[in-house]
Copies of this chain bind each other. A is one copy, B any other.
Amino acid sequence: MTTLLTPAAAADRTGVSLDTLRYYEREGLIGPIRRSPGGRREYTEDDLFWIGLVTCFRDAGLGIADLREFVAILRAEHSAQDRVTFLRERRATLEQRVAALRRAMEVLDDKIAYYS
């Protein structure tokens, strides 16, 4: 028997608010989450794991649309080749962000050196 979590528990475990959980589901980033007979959401461990992935990418600055595309690619039938291509593209954009951050950090380092 798989343990099911209430929305509150899921929010607690993932650090994502109830509203945001619902929002992500509406947007197709997670779920659809199964429901109890009464209509309440019941989150599985798998759901939590997936939510973790989503928040990981959100934290990295990917937008909702990006993530929706990500979900689509991983869920729908796509050749492994397509998936790899897509994933590599995403990886490249993340690397560009890292580069932008490094540039900014260099500027800060220069200023820090100047004032030290």
A→B interface (CB under 8 Å): 53, 56-57, 59-62, 74, 80, 83-84, 87-88, 90-91, 94-95, 97-98, 100-105, 107-109, 111-112, 115-116
Contact = CB atoms under 8 A, between A and B. Distances in A.
Contacts of A84: 112, 115-116
A107 to B, nearest CB: 6
**How would you classify the secondary structure of chain A's contact residues: helix, strand, loop or mixed?**
helix
Copy number of this protein in the oligomer?
A: 2
A111 to B, nearest CB: 5
Given A87-B111, A98-B98, A60 B104 contact: yes
A94 B87 contact: no
A84 B115 CA distance: 6
